[in-house]
Amino acid sequence: MPKNMGNTYGRKKKEMPVGSFHFGIEIDGIFEGSFLRVTGIASEIEVEEYKEGGMNHFVHYMPVRVKYSNIILEKGVTKSKELLKWFNQVKEGIMNKKNFSIVLWNNGGEIIRRWNFQNGYPIKWEASDLDAMGNSILIEKIELTHEGMNENS
């Protein structure tokens, strides 16, 4: 048996999946903080059907374009109004596109994934309901559209 293989019998060490709860957002390279929830990290290749004459047992699918989902960020309301200011700029016609990243860390603080989004800007902002009888945290949501995504780890 080769050296340093121990009891693994040549198998790779099993990697444990990473939790989805240790993440943060960078906008134009500046850490904007941690958020409660991020949704919309997705891309899809749109396809077009091509039915070839004489080939009736299957249909060809040809890739056409890549489509990206909008990113929705949710966080508790604080004194910081940076995201709301950015939304208001766009609302007033000042198109201020920014690159942003969603960064995922493991428990040791090592970056596991980084999703980079190009030329994003907010298209929707909302706050959760106010309720004098409740005791929950006020949540703000901002929806960002963008022109593309790439991932590096």
pLDDT in tens, 44-66: 999 999 988 887 788 999 999 99
For residue 8, the 8-state DSSP code is S
Q: How does DSSP assign 80-141, residue by residue?
A: --HHHHHHHHHHTT----EEEEEEEE-TTS-EEEEEEEEEEEEEEEEEPPP-TT--PPPEEE
List, in sequence order, every residue forming a beta bridge with 111; answer none if it has no partner. 105
Alpha carbons 27 and 101: distance in angstroms, whole number: 6
Q: For position 1, what pLDDT does the model report?
A: 45
For residue 14, the 8-state DSSP code is P
Q: For position 58, what pLDDT does the model report?
A: 87
Q: For position 47, what pLDDT does the model report?
A: 96
Question: Are the CB atoms for 111 and 105 separated by under 8 Å?
Answer: yes
**Percent of the chain whose predicted confidence (pLDDT) is above 90:** 65
pLDDT band at 8 (very low <50, low <70, confident <90, very high): low
Query: What sign does the CA torsion over 37, 43, 46, 47 have?
Result: negative
pLDDT greater at residue 136 or residue 2: 136
Average pLDDT, the chain: 89
List, in sequence order, every residue forming a beta bridge with 127; answer none if it has no partner. 140
**Percent of the chain whose predicted confidence (pLDDT) is above 70:** 92
pLDDT in tens, 90-115: 999 999 999 999 999 988 889 999 99
Model confidence at 137: pLDDT above 90: yes
* DSSP count for the chain of H helices, then E strands: 1, 10
Q: List domains and CATH numbers for the chain.
A: 23-42+70-152 (2.30.110.20)
Alpha carbons 89 and 132: distance in angstroms, whole number: 31
